[in-house]
Structure 1
Amino acid sequence: MAEVLAGQHCSVKICKQLDFLPFTCDGCGQIFCLDHRSKDAHSCSMVLVDKTLPDYEGPKSYPCSMPDCKGRELMEVICPHCQLNFCLSHRHQVEHDCEKLNRGPPPVSKTAEHVKQILEAKQNQPPKARKGRGPKSSKTAAKVALMKLKMKACGDKGLPETEKVYFNVALPLDGPVRHKAMFFSKTWSIGRIIDNIATLCDLRNDNNTAALKKLRLFDGDSGRLLLTSECVDSFLNKEELFSGSTVILEYVNEGIDVIDNTDVYR
């Protein structure tokens, strides 16, 4: 009696299992067992086959209209003025030398023109004379400064506290030190205060000689000369000076009774 064979062997060489319900791969067409029926399991030869797609007939990219530029973009970049297409590097009017570019000066708005006229008018005006602060604001500023001055002021330590008046002394511009906190007696004259400052700060003092320039003291706010013969207490009573005020010591020629620009001493 003839032997009847049923089933088929798996096409995987290391397997060759006889399977009575074999599977046929729809890719390579070979026979496989249950374990190797998937394309990954038997490394189907048709999985990696490059299937040719139909050629795309549309534009693949958009070239730049700028001469000698090889740039291309996947989307159109149209200049709204000349209506030509450009790459991103040449998309601005200035970059592609747009024929519609307005090369004249930008129009000036009425507001800008008005501001220009105001600035020109101010420049042509003569400089205003410096005005000192009013007694009220000067007194307030002096009170604020007084607290700081008391912590670092120098002077005659023998003076009773009730006699002391504190000044922020702006020293001559040609010296190494610009400011010094100092205290003096209310009963002293301005001339004596000048001598005391010169001694403590080691300044040249030719006030008693026929020198061309003399040391003089000025109000730090208004720049007005403080007469050497007057007593400090008189300025305090008239509220022309306050304890905590700034005074300016400077070498000046005879006849100078005001310092025009006190800002340089601040």
Structure 2
Amino acid sequence: MAELPDLGKHCNFEHCKQLDFLPFGCDGCGNTFCSEHRTKDAHSCSKDMLTSAGCEYTGARGYTCSLTGCSNRELTEIFCDKCQQVFCLSHRHAQDHDCSKLKEELVNTGSKTAEHVNQIIASKSVVVKKSRVSAKSSKTAAKVALMKMKMHAKGDSGCPETERVYLRVYPPSQYNKEPQPMFFSKTWSIGRTVDSIASRLGIQNNNNVQTAKKLRLFSTDDGTVLQTDCHIEMLLKQELIFNGSSVILEYVHNNTEILDHLSVYKIS
């Protein structure tokens, strides 16, 4: 059988060199690549051009996530407020990238919530008395509401039925929207839950903007904030919320711990 030495070309990517019979030419660096490395990102093109007014783009091509094994990039820098490293949207919360600073904060502590409560108590000179609705009454009301929520609630379809926690969410007062029944995984942090709600309702989320007001979740019982680094499962165990509870999503200053004027939301 006759050999065809001139048919196809070897991929110029350093760790590939594969012979490809349908090679691709890069309009940036001018080299030839296989189908796997044909894109500029795939072969880290040294002369990536941005066709805009005929000028060569020399800036950064996005910010790569600092989490080992993650290759996601974002157009803007998203910092972890604890370790100050840059991460993608999926790994921006401390618990999602196994933050070293978070571990230091929680050393010798069996509960994230307990640690946070201790910090608040230590920093306050005045004891704030809560006037919560009794846990028993809240639990009973949640059970009744849960049956109705399951019929109309929306959420991540990939969430297993056994992990689903249903909440009635009151959107920020400025949007003048009706409360929405939703479900979330009990393994999620409140921070991730807030992001999911904002995305599903089309609500602006500036939690990564340092100077902007933050989206936070609050209990409808007494207006106390549900801390972003707490997981839903932990809040359920401590009976701070129940499966079927109502919560309020609102824009507040970063250190807000109590939401005033609950009557604005016409909670029923």
1:73-92 alignment runs, 5 A limit: none
Three-state SS of the structure 2 residue aligned to 1:131 is coil
Contact between 1:130 and 1:260, CA under 8 Å: does it hold in 2? no
Counting aligned pairs with the same residue, the percent is 49
Q: Deviation string for 1:134-166 (max 9, x for gaps)?
A: 110000000011011111100001111100000
More helix by share: 2
1:209 is aligned to 209
1:244 is aligned to 244
Q: Deviation string for 1:108-134 (max 9, x for gaps)?
A: xxxxxxxxxxxxxxxxxxxxx872211
1:229 is aligned to 229
Distance 2:146 2:133 in 1: 17
Q: 1:180 aligned to 2:193?
A: no
1:120 is aligned to none
- Does the C-alpha gap of structure 1 residues 245 and 206 become closer, same or farther in structure 2, counting only changes over 3 Å? same
2:261 is aligned to 261
Q: Deviation string for 1:165-210 (max 9, x for gaps)?
A: 0000010001041311100000000000000001000110000111
Distance 1:229 1:217 in 2: 12
1:136 is aligned to 136
Three-state SS of the structure 2 residue aligned to 1:242 is coil
Distance 1:183 1:223 in 2: 21
Unmatched 5+ stretches in structure 1? 1-128
Q: Deviation string for 1:25-71 (max 9, x for gaps)?
A: xxxxxxxxxxxxxxxxxxxxxxxxxxxxxxxxxxxxxxxxxxxxxxx
1:199 is aligned to 199
Distance 1:246 1:165 in 2: 11
Unmatched 5+ stretches in structure 2? 1-128
| TM-score, length basis structure 1 | 0.50
Distance 2:220 2:178 in 1: 13
| TM-score, length basis structure 2 | 0.50
Q: Deviation string for 1:3-44 (max 9, x for gaps)?
A: xxxxxxxxxxxxxxxxxxxxxxxxxxxxxxxxxxxxxxxxxx
RMSD: 1.3
Q: 1:154 aligned to 2:154?
A: yes
Residue identity opposite 2:160 in structure 1: P
Contact between 1:142 and 1:243, CA under 8 Å: does it hold in 2? yes
Distance 1:255 1:230 in 2: 16
Q: Which has the larger radius of gyration?
A: 1
Three-state SS of the structure 2 residue aligned to 1:174 is helix
Contact between 1:190 and 1:226, CA under 8 Å: does it hold in 2? yes
Q: Which runs of 4+ in 1 moved over 6 A?
A: none
Distance 2:255 2:158 in 1: 35
Residue identity opposite 2:215 in structure 1: L
Distance 1:214 1:238 in 2: 25
Contact between 1:172 and 1:178, CA under 8 Å: does it hold in 2? no
Residue identity opposite 1:210 in structure 2: Q
